[in-house]
Amino acid sequence: MSLETKSIMGVLDHFGPRTTQMNKGGNVDLGELTRTGRWDFNYDDLPVGGTDNLSLVIPANSTIVSARLRIIDAFTSTSTTTDLTIGLETSANVEIDFDGLLTAAHLDQTTIQVEGALYDGASGTAGALVGFTIGATDGELVVKSSAADLLTGRAELLVEYLVPAADPA
């Protein structure tokens, strides 16, 4: 990749391919009020909020509609008790709800070993944030492993959320 600075406005032009890290997240569907955030992550690079300013932020007071996790490559570990939890935290690494999207009951060791499986967290069957607002603070994705012994695994997460409606004038 190469860069060129425009002398008139000081704007950079990019030439060539630009790599991105999807474990930081990105919006897939930019509807007027509904958005879908997408994250791809590996066992050795689980998303954590507040590590940089690159992570997708779910705006404060957004309502989580659903959270869906697809296992692309099976997660394996040295133990038989490693579970995953998926939730949100602030950019200052303060917990909003660490298993508010998908809980360890959804993503236990046996379920995350099934390559190609889709785990759907809809209201009533997922974490406490699904179907409700995330609260008054912006949220960043956090994926935690119950033990630090993962050997393999890759997954894709889709979180559908409603952005806060504008206040009437």
Query: 10 Å Cβ neighbour count for 48?
Result: 16
What is the predicted pLDDT for the residue at 120? 85
Residues 109-134 have a mean pLDDT of 85
pLDDT class of 98 with cuts at 50, 70, 90: very high
What is the predicted pLDDT for the residue at 16? 62
* Token reading at 80: 């038989």
Indicate the DSSP class of residue 139.
B
What is the predicted pLDDT for the residue at 4? 63
pLDDT class of 101 with cuts at 50, 70, 90: very high
* Token reading at 66: 């659903």
CA distances (Å), 40 to each of 33, 46, 95, 98, 125, in order? 23, 9, 21, 18, 22
Indicate the DSSP class of residue 79.
S
Are 62 and 164 a contacting pair, CB within 8 Å? Answer: yes
User: For residue 106, is pLDDT > 80?
Assistant: yes
Percentage of the residues of the chain whose pLDDT score is greater than 70: 77
What is the predicted pLDDT for the residue at 117? 93
How many Cα atoms occupy the beta-carbon half-sphere of 108 within 13 Å?
5
The pTM of the full predicted model, rounded to 2 decimals, is 0.78
Indicate the DSSP class of residue 99.
E
In the chain, domain spans: 19-162
What's the CATH code, domain 19-162? 2.60.120
Contact partners, residue 54, CB within 8 Å, separation at least 6: 21, 24
